[in-house]
Structure 1
Amino acid sequence: MNVSPAPLPADTSSSAASGIRIPPQPQVLIDLVELLGSDDYDARRTAAVIGQDAGLSAMIFKAVRSPAFGGSRAPDSLDQAIVRIGFRQTLNIARAVALSTAIDAGRRRAYELFWTRSRELAQLAALIAEERVSVCNIFPDQAYMAGVFFECGVPVLMQRFPDYCEALLLDDRLDMPSLRDEDLRFNVDHSSIGYLVARHWGLPDFIAQAILHHEDVPRGELGAVRSLVAILHLASHARLHALHIHDYNWERTGDEVLGELGLHPDDLDGYLADLGERFLPLEL
C-alpha cells in the first residue's frame, strides 16, 4: 500500500499569506498512514491506532453496519470491523473523518451538508470505478478517496471567507461558483486549495491533479487523471439524478465523460438506474 506523503507544492506559502489555512493532519491519521505504509501491520495493530480517536472508531463501526459491508450485524470488536471493511477502505474512512474534523465550523448546517454530499459522491465514485475498472484502471478505493477530497477547497475557503458559497451549499440545485469568478473575487479558487490539501495530506499525485483539474474533463491529461475526473463527474451526475435534481453541468461535460468511461449515451439511463438502486443517501 503506497501511502507515503508527497512534497508540498511551492504555492503553499501564497495561500498562507492570504490567510487561508491548510488543515493539518491529526496525529492519529499520521500514525495510521505510517503503520499501513509499513510491512508490519494487522487488524489488531490497526485497531490500536484507530482506538486513540473515539469519533473515528465510531465511524468505522457505523460503516461496517451499512449494506455495502455486510449488513446490520455489528462486529464484536474494532479489529473485526477493520477486517470486514478492509485496510484500504479503513484508511479512506479515517481520512474522511479526519478531514471533516480538521475543517470544523461549529457544526454549521452548510458544513454538515457539504460533508454528507462528499461522502455520497465518494460512494458513487467507488461504485462506478468498480464497474469500469477494466476500462479506466481506477480502483474503487482510489475513486472513494478522490470523492471525499473532490471539493474540499470549498469548506477551507468558507473558513477564510465566511460568506463564501454557503448559500450554494444549502441548495443542491445551484452550481458551485466558477473558478474564474472565484479568482476575480477572492484571488484564489477552490480547486487550487483542494489540490494543496490533497498534497499536504499525502494523497497520490494523480488524485491531487484530478482535484486541481476537475471543473472540466482535462483534454491535455491522459490516463489516470482524465479517467478519475470523468468518474467524479459521472458520480456527481448520478447523485443529482438519484435525488431528482437537474445537473446543469452535464450538457457541457457529459459527452467527454461517457467517451472516457466507454459508455454509450443510449445506455446512460439504464446505467443511472442501476447506480440509483445501489446508492444509499446518507442521513445528517
Structure 2
Amino acid sequence: MSSKGNSVPEITRSLGAEDAARVRRVLEGGIKIPPQPRVLDEMRRMMNRQEYDVRRLARTIQQDPGLSAMLFKVVGNAAYRQHQPFETIEQILHAVGVKQTFNLVQAIALIDAGTPTADKRIYEAFWSRSQAVGQLAMLVAEERVAVCNIFADQAYLAGIFHACGVPLLLQRFSSYGMELRLATPGHWVDWREEDRKFNTDHAVVGYLVARHWCLPGFICDAIRHQHALADLGDHEARSMVAILALAIDIHARDQRIPNPEWDEVRNVLLPELGLDEESLPEFIDVVLERFNHATHV
C-alpha cells in the first residue's frame, strides 16, 4: 500500500479482531489499494492548509480533463438543480462549495482509478451500478436532508465507494466473479455467500479503501456496516447506511431485479429516514423521476 493516507496498522487497529484478520489476509494475497491521483493529493494538501482559493482549486481540477468532464456530469444531477447551469469549474466551487466539490472529486477519482478485471463485463456492470447507486443516494439525501442531516455530496461519496471492495476481491480471487455469478445480468454480490466462500466480504475491504483515501469517518463506517443497519443502534453512520440501503433498493426496483435484503431492513430504515409504508411509493417515484431525468439529459 502507498505511504499516503492511513497506514495498514493504523486502519486495522480501528477494526475488530475478526475484521482486522480478514483485511490482513486479503492484503497478504497481493491486493493493491488503488492510488489517489495527483490532482486529489494536491487538493487535499490545499484543504488541509485551509487554502480555499477558488481560482487555484479550479486550475488544479482542470489539470485532469477526464475528471473535470465527469464533475460537470455529476453536478448536472437534479440534486443540484437550483444552481444550474454550470459553465466553469469556478462556478461549481462557488455554488456547491469547496468541501462538497472535494467530496465529489474524490468519488469521481475512484472511478478513474479502478483496475479493469479480466472480464470487462463484470467491471463495466460494477461501475454502472456504483454510479447509479451514488446518484440515487445523492437524491435520497437531498430529499431527506432535514431529517438525516446528510448532504448530497456525502451520500454520493458513500454510494460510489460502498462496493469498492469488489474489484479488489476480483483481483485477489480468480474464481470470485464466476462463483458469485457477477457476469450474469442483474445479479449482484450476496455478502453471506461471499463470506462463506472467501472468508471475507467487500464491506470490510471497501472500508480499508475508504480509510486509505481519507474519507470522513462516518462514511467509512457506513461502508463497513452497510449490511448491518438493524444492528447499528445509535451509531453515527446509521442515517448514511439507511440512505445507502434505500438507494440500493430503488436501483433494484428500477432494474426489476430482486433485493433480498430489503425485507430485513425496511422496518428500521423507514423511521430512520422519516418515511412510512404509505409515503414510500410516492417518495420512490419522485426520486426515480429525478434520477431518470438527470441521466437522460
Q: TM-score range by the shorter chain?
A: 0.7 to 0.9
Q: In structure 2, which of residues 91, 98, 106 is the aligned counterpart of residue 95 of structure 1?
A: 106
Distance 1:224 1:168, change over 3 A: farther
1:68 Cα deviation after fit: 4.8
Equivalent position of 1:127 in the other structure: 139
CA contact (8 A) 2:161 2:206 kept: yes
Label 1:228 to 1:73 Cα distance change in 2 as closer, same or farther (>3 A): closer
**Aligned pairs, number:** 278
Post-superposition shift, 1:199? 0.5
Task: Indicate which of 217, 220, 236 corresponds to 1:205.
Answer: 217
Aligned AA (1:27): R
Corresponding position of 1:37? 48
Q: 2:227 maps to which residue? A: 215
Q: How many angstroms apart in 1 are the aligned matches of 2:39 and 2:65? A: 11
Superposed structure 1 runs of 4+ greater than 6 Å apart: none
CA drift at 1:172: 5.5
Q: Is 1:273 aligned with 2:291?
A: no
Query: What is the CA deviation profile of residues 51-106 of structure 1, one whole-angstrom value per residue up to 9, with x for unaligned ones?
Result: 2222212222333555554599661x433344355434432332223212222117
Which of 91-100 and 201-210 deviates more?
Answer: 91-100
Within 2, Cα distance between the matches of 1:264 and 1:68? 23
1:174 to 161, 169, 187: 187
* Unmatched runs of 5 consecutive residues or more in structure 1: none
Runs of 5+ consecutive residues of structure 2 not aligned to the other structure: 13-19
Change (3 A) 1:136 1:170: same
CA distance in 2 between counterparts of 1:144 and 1:217 reads 19
In 1: Cα distance, 2:202 partner to 2:229 partner? 17
Alpha-carbon distance between aligned partners in 2 of 1:62 and 1:132, rounded to the nearest angstrom: 23
**Whole-angstrom CA distance in 2 between matches of 1:6 and 1:139:** 25
Give the superposition deviation at 1:226.
Answer: 1.5
**Contact 1:123/1:279 (8 A) holds in 2:** yes
Which residue in the other structure is 1:25 paired with? 36
Match of residue 11 from structure 2: 9
Compared with structure 1, are the counterparts of its residues 46 and 137 closer, same or farther at alpha carbon in structure 2 (3 Å cutoff)? same
Q: Give the counterpart letter for 1:140 in structure 2.
A: A
- Cα distance in 2 between the residues matched to 1:136 and 1:223: 13
What is the CA deviation profile of residues 192-223 of structure 1, one whole-angstrom value per residue up to 9, with x for unaligned ones?
10010011010111111111111131424314
Among all aligned residue pairs of Structure 1 and Structure 2, give the percentage whose two residues are the same amino acid. Answer: 41
Contact 2:36 / 2:213 at 8 angstroms: preserved in 1?
yes
Q: Where do residues 145-184 of structure 1 align in structure 2 (5 Å cutoff)?
A: 145-165=157-177, 168-171=181-184, 173-179=186-192, 181-184=193-196
CA–CA distance in structure 2, aligned partners of residues 164 and 42 of structure 1: 45
Say yes or no: does 1:118 pair with 2:130.
Answer: yes
Normalising to structure 1: TM-score of the pair?
0.85
Question: 1:111, 1:155 within 8 Å by CA — same for their partners in 2?
Answer: yes
Task: Report the TM-score, using the length of structure 2 for normalisation.
Answer: 0.82
Q: Which residue of 2 aligns with 1:143?
A: 155
Structure 1 residues 143 and 66: CA distance shift in structure 2, 3 A: closer
Inter-CA distance 72–212: structure 2 relative to 1 (3 Å threshold): closer
Q: Quick one: distance in 1 between partners of 2:230 and 2:159?
A: 17
Q: Which moved more, 1:250-259 or 1:91-100?
A: 91-100
Moved more, 209-218 or 89-98: 89-98
Partner of 2:70: 59
CA RMSD of aligned residues (A): 2.8
- In the aligned structure 1, how far is the partner of 2:77 from the partner of 2:229? 32
Query: Distance in 2 between the 1:89 and 1:240 partners?
Result: 27
Structure 1 CA distance, aligned partners of 2:85 and 2:152? 24
**Does the 8 Å CA contact 1:175/1:248 hold for their aligned counterparts?**
no
Q: 1:168 to 1:233 in 2, by over 3 A?
A: farther
Name the CA distance, whole Å, in 1 between partners of 2:207 and 2:114.
15
